Structure 1
């Protein structure tokens, strides 16, 4: 099947097998290896990307399902050489250790902050509950999200 999809602002048209998973399309067809591939059952969340702004697990989403839609991967967070506040928060607050879960956490966090720019700790924990981390214990991840929320709020105040 032929699909056309916009990924990180660029449009791609490819012939794909109907059974091709989005994670493999992104990694193998487009070379966007920031999206990790973990459990293949949507349990771990490392493959999370955004489709039309909504986090989805790309290991259980078929590439044909995103035909005509907008996909954002972790590579799409950085803009004009500047890290997104979510990325910077994970660096500044040590929200990562091995880094395997980080792309999925970043994509989930970005969607959370767009929907809820000032989440409570409980709301952050609920939002990231579909993304497993075996290294950090989540404390620094929550701090990273709070840092990003504060930076985003400050940026909005400066623009206003």
Structure 2
């Protein structure tokens, strides 16, 4: 069975937000072979309990009043219908602190993956300068300490870079999060 298509999270398996699993979905009561691993914001306990289809069609949002990304995290220029699509019908991702959803060209960007320095070097080398600028300007780290911070980025253990791609101009965007 093919996974649903998520415009703003095009490969949720590669990002780790959806994994192969025989767990039964608490929304549709089916075992579809995949389960959502990201955050769910609602009163019900939905950790590792929803299939991607119930997220995509909005039934998980309707049944549990669940959102998968905090709606307050979006820049003001992102249209409300896009915010709703991502918050209510798109798999989110887990960050170390409060997740951010990047935007470009007046639209939300597509989440690609959490990345460490190895993934940045291999798949997104154009982001090294952007991330270094973030480390120096936003974190106030400079010189060799900034280089050490950049090379310490780790997909699984933090600090971690979160990579996005603009849906219009294909620009790569990223931010860094850590404990």
Q: Please give the TM-score of this superposition, normalised by the length of structure 2.
A: 0.29
Bigger-Rg structure (1/2)? 2
Instruction: Indicate the structure with greater helix content.
Output: 1
